[in-house]
Structures are given as structure tokens and as C-alpha cells.
């Protein structure tokens, strides 16, 4: 019986060969080949040295967003941010000589509009806000940096009314109108009366005179005794229309003496605005970050990156020069960084890490790999894998050829002046998934 089916075996064998030949090639085909293998592909891993150092202050004036608040990160310690801003006269006519005898102050409120869906970092716990009047004139032509604390005068203008729970997702109704979510801080009644007394005087006759009368405010927080994971940083768009100082008052000499009127002092592009930032590692529950910053020579198991002039990671690749003069061509250089440990839901890692190099003058410069755009360089956080990847082929090639003298990269958080994200990364000495630079060479 078997004999009558024997002619079918060649056909079955042919079908198996065809089926196997149509299978999609493996994506990592060739990765295990050794030098001299038929495809001419060589994969190697470069030895790295990495460490953590404090980041430098940054220009925080005239950015698209300002940051305010504080939170205590058990690993990174305390971060506190404040806002310095001027106000300007609105379009209303407040000429000298007006009769102000019947004006009665109701209140004066400082409103800061949340920056849409990107309203903050951390928990939205209640915070103790403070508002102080500036004791200096700021210039729109000057650059203000994150470590520049302003001169202030007088007591807190909130007079103990500064404990507020932020509600960045709730619209509010002001004088019958629905307004975008905002933080509203009512200043002292004495401040409201001071503005009423200025009606009809030269103090409100021009913007220059107004800035002499009221130079601006420094908004900060006094969250003493914060517990780990308590508090957060709030993100505000000061150029949004709701961001302003508003005086509410009544005119008893008018035909509608009980109607509350509003006079706005907007924050616009002609007003100086900048953020101040402070970091205090001593308030961390452990000392691992502080120790990492002291030791820059030992093989690092963990390194750190923190936005808002917090921390940056330095990565050195001295062994890249050993490939100089070889016959094979560098096809790809991929730097892979894995996050260390788990992340607290309200403290996500930076959405993007940005690598810099140092040029011949020692100044920060972009990598040549950016010529293809940020997408070609990558550096975005991959939440599924818990890692970052960078295509630094052009940079590595320049180091190999000697065009790039310093084989060092420095990693900072993307949008680091307007976000508060931070991350711990596995270093080259990590026991599992260490930091690595994967090189792929080809001879054709």
C-alpha cells in the first residue's frame, strides 16, 4: 500500500521548501555573525563611563510657560519654583484729574491661567502661596535666569489667605462669565485700596509711571514640612488672557452704585516674566543621588537626569577611538538607556532626553545626527520597554575619524526649563540592562 503513495513524497518535500523560502526573514538576521562571515556584518558593544553632575541655571525669562510650587521627591529631594512678573496698564482710560471720591474697593485678585492639559507635575495638593511686591524695576531687554532671586519689599500681600488647592481642570465663573481654569489669589484689602487711591493720579497715567508705582510681584510657596510625594509644580501660561491682576470696585456716584466693576492689569508680551528654581538634595530620604554626584570615577550603577536645572548625566566613550583606521564602515550606533526601578505615577520620566556634545571651544553643541531631525536622533521615552534609545551614528563616526575630539555626551531633559520631570537611569555598571552603545559595522 505504501508503494502506491511513494510518488507524493517529492511533491511534499517541494512544498516544504517553498513554504520555508517564503518565510519573512528574522529582523535580527546577521546580528550574531563574527568578523569575516559572509554578510560582512560586525556588531560590537562599546565600553562606557557615565556619572551625574549638577546642571547649570538656565534662561527662564520669556518662556512659553512659567512654573510655580514645590514637591518633595524621596530620591531627588525638594524642588521649589517661583514666578516673577510685571503687569501692564489695560486699555481703559485712567487719566489724571478724575473724580475718585465715590470709588470703593471690593478686592484685588491675581489670576494665573493653567497651561491647558499640561498643567503640572506631581500631586495637586493644597499649597501655601505667597505674593510679595518687587522692590526693583525689571527690564524687558534683560535676560533673567532661574537662579536670580528678585528684591522684594513689605509683607506677604495675601495676608495669610494663601493656602489654596489647585483645580487645573475646573472652569470658574467670574462676574457671570465662565473662564478657563486658573489659580486665583486674593491680595490684601490694603493693596486694593492703594490702587483705588491711585485713580486720577499720575501713577496710572502711563506704563512707565505704573511700574514705578507697582513694579510687579514675586509669587512663591512656603510649604514647610512637606512629606515625600506631597505637592507638585504647577504650569501657567502668563500670556493667556485670564492671567492678570484685576481690581474690583464700586462707584457710589454712578446710577448703579451696587454694581461691581473690574479693571484689569494684564500680563502681556511687554511684561517681564521669569521663573526661579531651587533644589535641595539634603531633603531626600536617601543619599544615593548626593553620593553619585561626588563620585565621578567609579563605574556607575545608576545615573540621574532632572529638569529645571537639576541634574544631567555625562557619558564618555573613550574606546570609540580604537576603531580608527579599520576597514569596515560604521552603519549604526545606538545608545540604549534603561530606567532604574519603578516610577511613581505622578512623577513620570521626561518624555524626551536630549544629548549634547562639546565643540572645540568647550561650548554645548547639538549632535550632527540632528541633521535628520529630532525623529532621526530619537531620545523619546518608550514606556513599554522602560527605556530611551538614541541614534548617534554621525557623532560616533566623527569620534572614530577624529573630527570630534571629545568623545563625551551630556544628557538633559527635553523642555527642561518648563517641565519638572526627572529619571534614574541604569549606568554602565548595572547588573541587568546596563547602559550600552551598540555599534554595527559593515564591509560593503
The confidence band for 30, taking pLDDT boundaries of 50, 70 and 90, is very low
For the record, the C-alpha cell of 48 comes out as: 562606557
Beta bridge pairs of residue 105: 249
Chain length of the chain: 444
Spatial distance between the Cα atoms of 305 and 339, rounded to a whole number of angstroms: 11
* Higher-scoring residue by pLDDT: 222, 45: 222
Nearest of 185, 184, 216, 211 to residue 198 by alpha carbon: 211
pLDDT tens for 131-168 read: 999 999 999 999 999 999 999 999 999 988 899 999 99
Residue 259 CB burial class (10 angstroms; 0-12, 13-18, ≥19):
exposed
For the record, the C-alpha cell of 313 comes out as: 548625566
Section 341-357 average pLDDT: 94
The confidence band for 200, taking pLDDT boundaries of 50, 70 and 90, is confident
Say what the pLDDT of residue 29 is: 34
pLDDT, mean over the chain: 89
Say what the pLDDT of residue 354 is: 97
Section 364-378 average pLDDT: 91
pLDDT tens for 395-438 read: 999 999 999 999 999 999 999 999 999 999 999 999 999 999 99
Say what the pLDDT of residue 374 is: 83
H or E, element range at 426: strand 422-426
Spatial distance between the Cα atoms of 156 and 159, rounded to a whole number of angstroms: 6
Nearest of 43, 54, 55, 49 to residue 407 by alpha carbon: 49
Spatial distance between the Cα atoms of 48 and 392, rounded to a whole number of angstroms: 14
Residue 93 has pLDDT above 70, yes or no: no
Spatial distance between the Cα atoms of 153 and 156, rounded to a whole number of angstroms: 9
Nearest of 194, 234, 223 to residue 112 by alpha carbon: 234
pLDDT tens for 170-186 read: 988 888 788 899 999 99
Residue 336 CB burial class (10 angstroms; 0-12, 13-18, ≥19):
middle
Sorted by where each begins, the domain ranges of the chain are 41-47+287-442, 66-281
Amino acid at each position: 500500500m505504501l508503494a502506491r503513495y511513494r510518488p507524493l513524497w517529492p511533491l511534499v518535500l517541494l512544498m516544504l521548501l517553498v513554504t520555508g523560502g517564503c518565510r519573512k526573514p528574522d529582523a535580527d538576521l546577521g546580528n550574531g555573525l563574527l568578523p569575516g562571515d559572509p554578510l560582512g556584518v560586525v556588531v560590537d558593544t562599546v565600553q562606557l563611563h557615565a556619572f551625574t553632575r549638577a546642571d547649570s541655571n538656565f534662561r527662564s525669562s520669556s518662556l512659553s510657560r512659567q512654573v510655580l510650587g514645590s514637591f518633595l521627591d524621596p530620591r531627588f529631594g525638594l524642588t521649589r519654583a517661583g514666578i516673577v512678573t510685571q503687569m501692564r496698564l489695560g486699555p481703559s482710560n485712567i487719566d489724571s484729574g478724575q473724580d475718585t471720591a465715590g470709588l470703593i474697593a471690593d478686592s484685588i485678585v491675581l489670576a494665573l491661567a493653567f497651561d491647558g492639559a499640561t498643567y503640572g507635575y506631581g500631586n495637586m495638593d493644597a499649597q501655601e502661596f505667597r505674593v510679595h511686591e518687587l522692590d526693583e524695576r525689571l527690564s524687558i531687554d534683560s535676560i533673567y535666569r532661574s537662579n536670580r532671586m528678585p528684591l522684594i519689599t513689605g509683607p506677604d500681600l495675601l495676608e495669610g489667605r494663601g493656602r489654596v488647592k489647585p483645580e487645573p481642570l475646573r472652569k470658574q465663573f467670574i462676574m457671570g462669565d465662565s473662564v478657563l481654569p486658573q489659580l486665583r489669589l486674593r491680595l490684601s484689602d490694603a493693596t486694593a485700596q492703594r490702587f483705588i487711591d491711585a485713580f486720577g493720579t499720575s501713577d496710572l497715567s502711563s506704563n512707565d509711571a505704573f511700574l514705578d508705582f507697582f513694579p510687579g510681584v514675586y509669587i512663591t510657596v512656603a510649604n514647610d514640612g512637606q512629606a515625600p510625594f506631597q505637592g507638585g509644580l504647577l504650569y501657567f501660561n502668563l500670556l493667556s488672557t485670564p492671567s492678570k491682576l484685576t481690581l474690583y470696585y464700586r462707584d457710589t456716584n454712578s446710577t448703579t452704585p451696587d454694581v461691581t466693576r473690574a479693571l484689569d492689569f494684564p500680563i502681556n508680551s511687554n511684561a517681564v516674566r521669569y521663573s526661579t528654581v531651587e533644589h535641595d538634595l539634603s531633603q531626600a530620604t536617601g543619599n544615593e543621588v548626593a553620593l553619585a554626584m561626588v563620585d565621578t570615577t567609579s563605574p556607575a550603577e545608576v545615573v540621574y537626569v532632572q529638569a529645571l536645572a537639576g541634574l544631567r548625566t555625562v557619558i564618555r566613550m573613550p574606546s570609540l577611538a580604537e576603531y580608527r583606521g579599520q576597514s569596515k564602515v560604521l552603519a549604526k550606533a545606538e545608545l540604549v538607556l534603561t530606567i532604574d526601578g519603578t516610577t511613581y505615577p505622578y512623577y513620570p520620566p521626561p518624555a524626551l532626553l536630549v544629548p549634547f556634545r562639546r565643540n572645540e571651544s568647550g561650548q554645548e553643541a547639538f549632535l550632527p545626527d540632528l541633521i535628520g531631525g529630532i525623529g532621526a536622533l530619537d531620545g523619546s521615552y518608550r514606556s513599554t520597554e522602560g527605556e530611551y534609545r538614541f541614534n548617534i551614528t554621525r557623532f560616533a563616526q566623527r569620534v572614530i575619524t577624529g573630527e570630534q575630539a571629545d568623545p563625551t555626551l551630556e544628557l538633559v531633559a527635553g523642555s527642561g526649563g518648563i517641565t519638572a520631570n526627572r529619571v534614574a537611569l541604569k549606568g554602565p555598571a548595572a547588573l541587568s540592562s546596563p547602559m550600552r552603545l551598540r555599534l554595527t559595522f559593515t564591509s560593503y
